Amino acid sequence: MSKQLTVLEPEVCCAPLATATVPAEAAADLALAFKALGDPVRLQLLSMIASADGGEACVCDLTPAFDLTGPTISHHLKVLREAGLVESDRRGTWVWYRANRPRMASLSAVLDIAPTA
Amino acid sequence: MSKQLTVLEPEVCCAPLATATVPAEAAADLALAFKALGDPVRLQLLSMIASADGGEACVCDLTPAFDLTGPTISHHLKVLREAGLVESDRRGTWVWYRANRPRMASLSAVLDIAPTA
């Protein structure tokens, strides 16, 4: 199983942007994740993976959903994996992907807005 | 007051990625916002603006916080504004920025993870 998590410790990462200036170290990590999300195909891939029955999706099911080549899809999945947004493992012929749900939750928390400012 | 919101209607935007494949139109809009967040300086600028006393920050207070030129900071602020993440208005000499809190809340909701998948 390959894991390339880059999630920072809670004391560094993930205070909401609306509560304090984000420290430089956390900003670099968060920017990596948001940059990975900054592409429509990658957003669609992540949503397909995160919403898949059983919580994982085979690359063999992901690729046909796009009018893109296999290598292009693989590249996008690699970007998501290197940003810590998905995890993958190979079983036989195919690679299966799962969303890194704690990572997504951390990013969600960073953008969360307090009821009053 | 300049406004460049690109927030989509609720029926298009902002269902959590973990619940369904994001439609192409929403993916393009969301990717624009996440791409804008995919830079450490822009994340720090947004956090400084969103956490500022009174909910707004003067460019005259933002620029000195970075070892970057005024035009570079202005470029990053423009990217944030065009992605609908901040709003601005000029008062006299200076431009003041406010976070677009509904936009941030929408992006947070998109990345939110249900307790069980």
Q: What are the structural domains of chain B?
A: 24-111 (1.10.10.10)
Residue A4 has pLDDT above 50, yes or no: no
Local structure of residue B90 (DSSP, 8 states): E
pLDDT digits (tens, 9 = 90+) for A40-75: 999 999 999 999 999 999 999 999 999 999 999 999
CA A54 from centre of chain: 18
Model pLDDT, residue A103 = 95
Hey, what amino acid is at B25? E
Q: Are the beta carbons of A50 and B105 separated by less than 8 Å?
A: no
Please state, rounded to an integer, the average pLDDT across all residues of chain A. 88
Residue A94: exposed, middle, or buried by beta-carbon count in 10 A (0-12, 13-18, 19+)?
A: exposed
Model pLDDT, residue B7 = 52
Note whether B46 and B39 are within 8 A (CB): no
Query: Within an 8 Å CB–CB cutoff, is residue B10 touching chain A?
Result: no
Model pLDDT, residue B4 = 43
Query: Does residue B75 or residue B4 have the better pLDDT?
Result: B75
Structure confidence at residue B113 as a pLDDT band (50, 70, 90): confident
Length of chain B, in residues: 117
**Distance (Å, whole) CA B115 – CA A32:** 25
Model pLDDT, residue A15 = 84
Model pLDDT, residue A1 = 39
Model pLDDT, residue A73 = 97
Query: Within an 8 Å CB–CB cutoff, is residue A39 touching chain B?
Result: yes
**Distance (Å, whole) CA B113 – CA B117:** 8
What is the chain A residue with the closest CA to B53?
A117
CA distance A114 to chain B (A): 9
Compare CB distances from B27 to A43, A109, A112 and report the shortest one's residue.
A43
Query: Within an 8 Å CB–CB cutoff, is residue A52 touching chain B?
Result: no
pLDDT digits (tens, 9 = 90+) for B7-64: 555 545 668 999 889 998 899 999 999 999 999 999 999 999 999 999 999 999 999 9
Residue B114 has pLDDT above 50, yes or no: yes
ipTM: 0.87
Angle between helices A101-111 and B101-111 (to 10 degrees): 170
What is the chain A residue with the closest CA to B17?
A47
Contacts of B77 (CB under 8 A, 6+ apart): B45, B59, B62, B86, B88, B95, B97
Q: Are the beta carbons of B18 and A50 separated by less than 8 Å?
A: yes
